[in-house]
Structure 1
Amino acid sequence: GMFTFDSGLAAGRNILARADRPTAILAQNDDMAVGAMMAAREIGLSIPERLSVVGFDDSEVSRITWPRLTTVRQPVFEMAVAATEMVIAQLEDREPLARVLHSHTLLVRESAAPPHA
């Protein structure tokens, strides 16, 4: 996808049209997840009873869509600072940090549930 609502809608339509329809979708970001939720609604799938949808980013849309979107929060500011420090180190001919680990948090909301029997 292209990290947009429209690409999530298109991908959701494609995935949900399969004979082996999934019970869950993990989208690349929250906008795509909401697009997938719309695709599910178009064919009458209830969320989370028939399809769980999870996004990534904890963007504002994850808190205002219904059901509220289960998502993964990542420390975007801290990640940007670390990336900037790595670039500056390279520009100054210093050895950049090889790897920086950042914690992510799963925010369980109403869009995910155990698979339907």
Structure 2
Amino acid sequence: FIFIFQTSVLGDSVGGVLKSLLDSQEMAYAKEIITYNRFIIQGTVRPSLVQKLSEVADSLNNKKVSELWDMVRYMTQVPAQASGDPLLFRRSKVLQTALISQAKKYLQDR
């Protein structure tokens, strides 16, 4: 016999109502990702996913998680690779310099 397992964010139904396996914080992040995916499917201008998830973290009033998302926001502000080998770009002096610069900026702005 071959069994196929599917993962879902929904658990068993209770009284005809679906019950989520996610807690309220995880659900807040999931809702933002669902909204982001809708923008992609519709082909419209999509918002910054990092910014949206950072806003979710701020709304949850968890200082450590908010700080983590602030750091992610800084570290994603580096030049994107236009073309070529991604592994070579990740080891390039240009990217390394940009990452170090953003890390310094994050620490200075704290």
Per the normalisation by structure 1, the TM-score is 0.31
Choose 1 or 2 for highest CA Rg.
2
**Higher relative contact order (Cα pairs below 8 Å, separated by 6+ residues):** 1
